[in-house]
Structure formats: structure tokens, C-alpha cells
Amino acid sequence: MSLSLHITHQLGDFTLDAGFEAGPGVTALFGPSGSGKSSISNAVAGLIQPDFGRIALHDKLLYDAPSRVFVPPHKRRVGYVFQDGRLFPHMTVEGNIRFAMRFARSPGDPARIVELLGLAGLMQRRPRLLSGGEKQRVALARALMSDPEILLMDEPLAALDEPRKEEILPYLERLRDQTDIPILYVSHSVAEVARLADNLVILQDGKVVQEGPTEKVLSDPAAMPFVGVREAGSILRARVLKHGSDGLCRLAISGGELTLPGVTAKPNSDIRIRVLAQDILLSLHHPEGLSSRNILPVVVESIRLGDGPGAAVSLRAGDDHLLARITAQAARELHLTPGLRCYAILKATAVPKGSIGH
């Protein structure tokens, strides 16, 4: 594991008592404001010292209460990207990026990082002339140039509007896919987590309530109260087969094929698809005469009834998990039970805008 953390810390009336292990890739800390996400990130960075516990990074102790180990922040190989970027206003983009090299044990190739984050045309600009998305890309490049062993990103897109988020998300995907630096990503956005995270840790009131691979956690009915019924859904991994002249794209998933609009990835590319639970219909028999062509054979894995009229149904489609939200009455009338084979119907427009990523 890249990061192992088990800490307790008292902050006024708030008690943080959390533990998890994070491997390579992107591990997202998800939860509402005040759930402990930023406190965990600050503990990893050494900006706060927990009351008790242990934090290890690549088998190196950063903090261990019993043995009184606490590595100060400047000696930790941690890159930190904050919500507001925090660039040096008197320096150019190039100056901000190169500033971090003085803290690196083995400085990376600036040209590679500049290319990775699409900054070549911005190098001589000062921060006041950059958009919000550009500032965050520069802050990310500066963090990478410090040669970190882990990258912390604390709500890096929270201050951006939707167009700026869409501008920077592809660069974050490239960072995830083209580097081997583990990333701890703090967010309260399900859409960001679904698009970027390999693993997910859900926090509530200072405690870990769900953790595991993102696809598995988000499709678990037990996670719906923490994610929210309108945001609950699933992630499917798909391969692009063919783009049609009508603007629709054929995709292969483990449980069959889908036809969706808005896919820009090239044929043979692997992408993620986010499907909301509220956009899935269930049928006991293969439906005929529907406008939707996205019909998948599925197996019911579990059913969770809420306090209201709804029911969350966990489904398996091939090797993938799906989550459907239907009424409890419909679940009873369909006699849904674990192991039942049925069909899931997805509209071609069911995938939320901006949720298709690499």
C-alpha cells in the first residue's frame, strides 16, 4: 500500500477517528463539509499532528504516536494543491513551476510536466492573467516539480465554474493515467469522484463509513444515504467500438453493448461511464418496441429499502455493478430477490453530461 493511515484527533467538539489504506492511483476522500476530509489531508501533509495514531507512506513512518515519530512538513515528500492554487503573484508561470525544483531530491523534466498539463503557451504569463482552471494546472505542475511521493489535492475544482471544470478534468485524467504518483483527492462532488477516482473513502462525522474500489462503493445500495439519491449511480468501464455518422457511439462493456452520444474518445480507447440510479428501468422480460436500445441482462444482487417509498437495487451486468433506484412498490410487484435474472434499460441520454472520461 502507498499510504496507511489510522488516526484520532479532537478539534473542538469534532472527533476525527478514521483509518484506511490507499494504493496506487487516485484515492478520493468524499463526504460533506465538516466530515474530516481536509483534516486527514492536512495530517498526511504534516500541517496538523493528530492526538494519536499512525501514518505511513511507502513503508516510511510520517507519524507514530507510540514511538513519538513526527516528520515535519518540509521533510515529507508531499505535493499539495489547494482549492485556490496559491501561486506567487510576482512570478511568471515558469517561475512558479521552477520555484518548486529547489525542494526536489530528483527534479523531474519540466518540459514533460508542461506538456502533460498543456502549459506551453502560458509560461510567461503572471497568475492575474490566468483563468481559474489555468491557475490550478500551474499549481499542479508546481507540486509535481517538487518530486513528491504523494500528491494531495484538496477540493481543487470547488472554486471553478462548470466550463472551467471541464477544461481541467482531462488533464487530471492524464495525470492519473500517465504518472505513478499516488493521489489523495478530497472532494464532495460525486461526478468528480466517479470520473477520477480508482478507490473511494466515504467519510461521515469524522468516521469512515464506506471504502473500496470506486465502482463497487458507488453501486452499493448502502452508500446511497451518503451519496444522495439524486447522485447515486454506477461506473461502467467501456471500450469504444465505433463512432456512427448519427453522432452515436457503440461501446463494449463486460455485460454487452451500449450506444451513447457525446463520446469523443477514439476507437479502441477505454473510458468510464457514469450511469445514475434513477435513469435505470427494470423489466422481468426482454422488452420489445422501446426507443431505447441499451438493454442489458442483469442479475439482482441485493435490495435495500429506504425510509421513504424508494428501493435501491444492486445489479450485476457481466463483471460490472449497476445501481437502480425504483419504488418499493415496484420492487414488490416484480418480486425482486437476490439471484433473479432480469433486464436493465438505460436511455441513451442517461449518462450525465461531463461524466464520460478516460
- What CATH number should be reported for the domain whose range is 3-214? 3.40.50.300
C-alpha cell at 205: 462525522
Distance, in Å, from the CA atom of 130 to the CA atom of 137, rounded to the nearest integer, reads 10
At 217, list the grid cell. Answer: 462503493
- Distances 222 to 1, 124, 280, 308, 314 between C-alpha atoms, Å: 26, 50, 18, 15, 10
Could you tell me which of 106, 162, 164, 113 has the C-alpha nearest to residue 135?
A: 164
The residue type of 158 is: A
What tens-digit pLDDT sequence spans the chain (358 residues)? 689 999 999 999 999 999 999 988 999 999 999 999 999 999 999 999 999 999 999 989 999 999 999 999 989 999 999 887 788 899 999 899 888 887 777 766 788 889 888 999 989 999 999 988 889 999 999 998 888 999 999 998 888 888 888 888 888 998 898 888 899 999 989 999 999 999 999 999 999 999 999 999 999 999 999 999 889 999 999 999 999 988 889 999 999 999 988 888 889 989 999 999 999 999 999 998 887 889 999 999 999 987 789 999 999 999 999 999 999 999 999 999 999 999 999 976 656 544 555 5
Residue 351's pLDDT is 63
Beta strands in the chain (DSSP E): 3-11, 14-22, 26-30, 52-57, 60-64, 69-70, 78-81, 150-154, 183-187, 199-204, 207-213, 233-243, 248-253, 256-261, 270-276, 280-283, 294-305, 310-317, 320-327, 341-346
Which amino acid is present at 47? L
**Domains of the chain, residue spans:** 3-214, 233-346
Q: How many CA atoms, within 13 angstroms, populate the side-chain half-sphere of residue 314?
A: 20
pLDDT given for residue 354 in this prediction:
47
Assess contact for 262 and 356: CB atoms under 8 A: yes
We find that the CATH architecture of domain 233-346 is Beta Barrel (2.40)
